[in-house]
Amino acid sequence: MGFVLLGVFTAIEIALLVITFTKRQEKADWLQNRVICRAAETAVFVLALLLPQVSWDFRFRLCFFILLIRAILALVIWLLRKKKTSGKKSKPGAALSAFGGILILALSLVPAFLFTGYEGLETTGVYGVKQVRAILVDESRKESFETDGSKREVPVYFYYPDAENAGENVFPLVIFSHGAFGYYQSNTSTYMELASNGYVVISLDHPYHSFFTRDTDGKLITVNPDFLQEVMAANEESATEEEIFALSRKWLSIRTADINFVLDSVKNAKAEESCPAEWFIESEETGNEISKALAMADIAHIGLMGHSMGGAASVSVGRERDDIGAVIDLDGTMLGEQLSYEDGVYQYNDAAYPAPLLAIDNEEHYQYYREDAEKEELYVNQAVLENTVAGEHTYFVGSGHMNFTDLPLFSPILASLLGTGTVDETECVRTMNEIILQYYNFWLKGEGEINIKESY
């Protein structure tokens, strides 16, 4: 809809320009016509708000305020100068005004070009979903991305059932870890679907690995430039396997420590029936909601899940701990299962993976499995899945890496730049969520059956 609005605004600006050129307009007349054009543009926007494609949100607010300011300025200038202006309006001046206006309006509509009006998918469960956040401060770790001696902070976001008698309703706990440059909301539809069906989901941010987050001082923390450069370098064809292995170990050590810290903190809070002092909570009301969410969390049934690097970290934590009931890896290479790289060959962990493990991949990732199989070499994910107590693997035909997040639904343009396929974005996410729910229901609740196809 942003492009449609820009097209209408452009037509109005060009109409004024054509009138000016063909009638050799007086400056006073041009000023008056400019007021009419600005008013028309603002009216078009207001009328567009009646359409379902346009809403009063961040995508269109800037455009409205710019339209309003332009209309007011045009009116004021006309009132002040209409009797003092003489002569013809110059063609270069009229053209500059028109094209400058189009450019300003185009820039104001950039959010509308990039983002949709996505507000989540409809959930299938019987519960409404509540949300609350906290920041956990790990006093045992210094922040490696800072030099001031500050401690590592891990923001956590709870998604949990809106259920009465919180202490009597106990639901499995699921921890989610986002991918590189992702953030905690990357798979919101998945958290909402799980929570509506009776799960407590904690999505955590990995500061300096996430696109953006905030610390306990309210400071905006964006992705670390060095980390960004490392990831980009690791994806270059010139990167050696030795370099990639060293970098991946460093990345995973941060993420697995974050996940373990969150899990241990939640378990301690459950045992003490209160939020520990290292939990930064915004208000007493927030603390009460977190207490409700914790009371609902069944720490005897824990699932781990993540996308991309978050999936790899989840697999690694599932290997380390004995309290994990099931792990789901969304299109991530299980980097933590690579123990070393020697003589041109990766050495994998040959101990059986101790927890049920599901890998959901994009089509190209799946083909990578097949290529290695033809070369009689096991890809790390394949090696782990074949050596686990219960391994499942599926892929989506025509999918890309970002199709396993909500980003294609929220911003198709950004998602395509990062990697999407030809698959229908909504159906891909909806089907993925159905598979995830089915898998956790079986392993964490002991309900239903597992019926996962080879591909979708």
Burial of 280 (0-12, 13-18, 19+ CB in 10 A): middle
Q: What's the rounded mean pLDDT across residues 145-158?
A: 94
Q: How far is CA 161 from CA 6, 194, 355, in A?
A: 42, 9, 26
- pLDDT at 327 (0 to 100): 98
* Confidence band, pLDDT 50/70/90 cuts, at residue 309: very high
* Residue 358 falls in which region: left (phi positive, over 0), alpha (psi -120 to 50) or beta: beta
For 326-343, how does the pLDDT look when each residue is reduced to its tens digit (9 = 90+)? 999 999 999 999 999 888
Helix axes 61-81, 27-48, angle to 10 degrees: 160
Confidence (pLDDT) at 375: 56
Backbone angles phi, psi at 291, to 5 degrees: -60, -40
Cα–Cα distance list, 85 to 73, 96, 224 (Å):
17, 19, 55
pLDDT at 24: 64
Give the mean pLDDT of 139-168: 88
Beta-sheet pairing, 171-177 with 212-214: unpaired
Helices (H), 60-90: 61-81
Q: How confident is the model at residue 299 (pLDDT cuts 50, 70, 90)?
A: very high
d(CA 49, CA 52): 8
pLDDT band at 376 (very low <50, low <70, confident <90, very high): low
Q: Are 396 and 455 in contact (CB under 8 A)?
A: yes
Asked if the model's pLDDT at residue 80 lies above 90, the reply is no
Cβ–Cβ under 8 Å, residues 306 and 180: no
| Residue 52: pLDDT over 80 | no
Residue 251 has pLDDT above 80, yes or no: yes
Which of the residue ranges 84-93, 257-266, 280-289 has the most confident prediction, judged by mean pLDDT? 257-266
Measured CA to CA, the distance from residue 214 to residue 261 in angstroms comes to 18
Q: Where are the beta strands (DSSP E) in 109-216?
A: 129-142, 151-161, 171-177, 200-204, 212-214
Instruction: Enter the tokens of residue 398.
Output: 């025509």
Q: Calculate the CA dihedral of residues 208, 212, 194, 134 and round it to 10 degrees.
A: 80
Q: Going by C-beta distance under 8 Å and a sequence separation of 6 or more, which residues neighbour residue 383?
A: 337, 348
User: 10 Å Cβ neighbour count for 222?
Assistant: 13
Q: What is the CA radius of gyration of the chain?
A: 27
The pLDDT confidence band at residue 119, using thresholds 50, 70 and 90, is confident
* Of residues 369 and 382, more confidently modeled: 382
The backbone torsions φ and ψ at residue 32, rounded to the nearest 5 degrees and listed phi first, read: -65, -45
Phi and psi dihedrals of 453, rounded to 5? Answer: -75, 165
Least Cα distance to 315 among 252, 269, 238 occurs for 252
Mean pLDDT of the chain: 90
450: alpha, beta or left? (left if phi > 0; alpha if psi -120 to 50): beta
Predicted confidence at residue 372, as pLDDT, reads 57
Percent pLDDT > 90 in the chain is 64
DSSP 377-398: ---HHHHHHTTBSSEEEEEETT
Tell me, what's the pLDDT at 107?
A: 93
Number of H helices, E strands in the chain: 15, 13
Cα–Cα separations (whole angstroms), residue 333 to 21, 204, 444: 62, 20, 24
Average pLDDT over residues 138-167: 89
What count of Cα atoms within 13 Å lies in the side-chain half-sphere of residue 51? 13
In angstroms, the CA 455 to CA 432 distance is 11
85's CB contacts (< 8 A; 6+ apart) are 26, 27, 28, 31
Of the ranges 123-132, 161-170, 240-249, which one carries the lowest mean pLDDT score?
Answer: 161-170
pLDDT tens figures, 394-442:
999 999 999 999 999 999 999 999 999 999 999 999 999 999 999 999 9
pLDDT at 334: 96
- In 223-287, DSSP assigns E strands to 279-280
**CB-based contacts of 154, cutoff 8 Å, min separation 6:** 135, 136, 137, 138, 204, 205, 206, 207, 258, 261, 262
Q: Is the pTM of this model over 0.75?
A: yes
Supply 7's token pair. Answer: 């097209």
Percent of the chain with pLDDT over 70: 96
Q: Is the pLDDT of residue 112 over 60?
A: yes
Question: Do residues 118 and 413 touch, judged by C-beta distance below 8 A?
Answer: no
Q: What is the pLDDT of residue 87?
A: 72
Q: What is the rounded distance in angstroms from the CA atom of residue 362 to the CA atom of residue 381?
A: 13
